[in-house]
Amino acid sequence: MPPSRHRRRRLLVGAALAFILVIAGVAGAVAMMPGGLTGLVSWAGSVASAPPSTSAVPGVTPALPGSPRPSDGPGASSAGVGATAPPSPAPTGSPTATAPPSAGLLVDPATAATLQRALEAARKSMVIPGVAATVILADGRTWTGVAGDAVAATHAKVTPQTPFAIASLTKTFTAALILRLADEGRLTIDDPLVRWLPDYPNAARITLRMLLQHTSGLADFFQNPKFDAALNQAKRRVWTPDEVLRFVGKPVFAPDKGWVYSNTNFVLLGLVAERAGGAPWAEQVRREFFVPLGLASTYVQGVGTPVVPPAHANVMFVGSDGRILPRDLSDGSTFVPFTSVATAAFSAGSIASTSGDLARWARALYGGDVLTPASLAEMLTFDPKIEQYAALAYGLGVSRVKIDGRFVAFGHTGALAGTRAAIRWLPEERVTVAVVFNRDLFRGDDVIRSLLVALYPRPQPGASPGASAGPSPAPYWAHSSAR
């Protein structure tokens, strides 16, 4: 016999109360665990949070030991890399940079071990004193690995919290700030430089777009031998942008008639941002990007304060016994490589950060969470004429390269005396990689390649479909792309 209306009501109320009690009990149990909810997923490694991506990996199945694959049968999770999910909707308004949810999801232990082995092999091959790297997979799972010494003389080890000088990766923040100011209507990227810096030579013929693209023809002050000597003669001197710009020298070519990588362009963009934004460049990048995205270990040198001591920069030399040894470039301050170089770099190269923060930044920027769709499209437009002059495709403060002959990637590399960095966002795979290390000669992309080869091994000749080889026996730097 069907229950009465009052009896049904009592049954529903009772069921609801029972459900609430069960949920409360589970929550209480989780709260008792070390770290709360993050205790459910924590193991050795470092967490860098990012919003989950929903794109599949077209045509390439990553080597993720322990991760479910479509062929794993009933019960296999569809959240692993290689799974297909509905695409994320494109943002329609002006995005505000916000910290991604802290899911605390790490890659599985086997994948972490694979990436750590690749990192340590790259460090050994390149004789790197200390290195840190972060990989964020398409589904948001993260790995951070470290190896070696932050300070070679004391053998202080690199940790996930150790900041490195990121050199020209600073340009990605400056370019994003200029485009953010354009989104707000404070400037346009086709403004002539004369609108903002009326006293700068030839400013009427140079646009902000040319500065962002390195097509202005302006020489790089860092390439001036007199300036290089001045930096090394007084390593603890603090330089201002106005002082730096006196060393620019004659133009390399007429505006928009060639391409040459020049730090001068981005120092000028920093000054433009200060005029248009009404605040110091360092204050604006902190307010617009560091704080909202939760980049707690990222700071402008000389303005922000490192949470832990930064890694020292090194130039390598051959010792009397034939070993390759590091020569520390520190001037005894917290500036890296040293005060004069870091301050001279200004908005072209003065930021320090960790690999975890940089990976989150690259994922947010190139994944569409920082700029409007229109501005991101402008940033990622690569003018074909630039490729006539340069050995790479360059947009607005971003390069497009192919790594290991397989992976199209957006991002940037950085190099100051004795320090290197790189960020790469792989749009098809929706994978982000960031690397920082403290020696000269090699590039950040050299280490990034080794990590990608570990994640996506090339099949051995004659191997059956689905079989994978280990990392390529070729040197880790053999196939990396130009900056």
E-only strand ranges, 121-196: 130-136, 142-151, 156-157, 164-165
In the chain, what is the straight-line distance between the N-terminal and C-terminal CA atoms, in Å? 78
pLDDT at 478 over 80: no
- Rounded Cα gap, residues 136 and 119, in angstroms: 15
In the predicted model, what is the mean pLDDT of residues 112-134? Answer: 97
Q: Is 45 left (phi over 0), alpha (psi -120 to 50) or beta?
A: left
Segment 27-40, tens digit of pLDDT: 333 333 333 322 22
239 and 195 Cβ atoms separated by less than 8 Å: no
Tell me the pLDDT band of 390, cut-offs 50, 70 and 90: confident
- Rounded Cα gap, residues 326 and 166, in angstroms: 19
Tell me the pLDDT band of 305, cut-offs 50, 70 and 90: very high
pLDDT at 97 over 60: no
pLDDT at 15 over 70: no
Which of the residue ranges 19-28, 94-103, 238-247, 447-456 would you say has the lowest mean pLDDT?
19-28
pLDDT at 17 over 60: no
- Rounded Cα gap, residues 468 and 456, in angstroms: 8
370 and 289 Cβ atoms separated by less than 8 Å: yes
**Long-range pairs, 371-377, Cβ under 8 A, ≥24:** 371/95, 371/176, 371/179, 371/180, 371/183, 372/91, 372/93, 372/94, 372/95, 372/183, 373/90, 373/91, 373/92, 375/179, 375/180, 375/182, 375/183, 376/179
In the predicted model, what is the mean pLDDT of residues 462-477? Answer: 39
| CB contact set of 400 (below 8 Å; sequence gap of 6+) | 380, 382, 392, 393, 394, 408, 409, 410
pLDDT at 474 over 60: no
pLDDT at 207 over 80: yes
Residue 15 backbone phi and psi in degrees, to 5: -65, -40
Tell me the pLDDT band of 25, cut-offs 50, 70 and 90: very low
Query: In this structure, which amino acid lies at residue 136?
Result: I
- Cα separations in angstroms, 108 against 105, 115, 138, 331, 483: 9, 11, 14, 41, 32
The pLDDT of residue 38:
27
Tell me the pLDDT band of 464, cut-offs 50, 70 and 90: low
* Percentage of the chain lying above the pLDDT 70 cut: 74
- Rounded Cα gap, residues 291 and 300, in angstroms: 13
Please tell me the number of Cα atoms within 13 Å of 92 on its side-chain side.
Answer: 1
pLDDT at 223 over 70: yes
The pLDDT of residue 279:
98
CA dihedral 398, 351, 146, 326 (to 10 degrees): 100
The pLDDT of residue 462:
65
- Rounded Cα gap, residues 412 and 408, in angstroms: 13
- Rounded Cα gap, residues 375 and 398, in angstroms: 13
Domains and CATH numbers, the chain: 109-455 (3.40.710.10)
Give the bridge partners for 138, in sequence order: none
pLDDT at 89 over 60: no
- Rounded Cα gap, residues 124 and 144, in angstroms: 18
The pLDDT of residue 480:
31
Mean model confidence pLDDT for the chain? 81
Segment 309-366, tens digit of pLDDT: 999 999 999 999 999 999 999 999 999 999 999 999 999 999 999 999 999 999 999 9
Tell me the pLDDT band of 121, cut-offs 50, 70 and 90: very high
Segment 153-187, tens digit of pLDDT: 999 999 999 999 999 999 999 999 999 999 999 99
Segment 32-86, tens digit of pLDDT: 333 332 222 222 233 233 333 333 333 333 443 333 222 222 222 222 222 223 3
Tell me the pLDDT band of 275, cut-offs 50, 70 and 90: very high
Chain centroid offset of residue 429 CA: 16
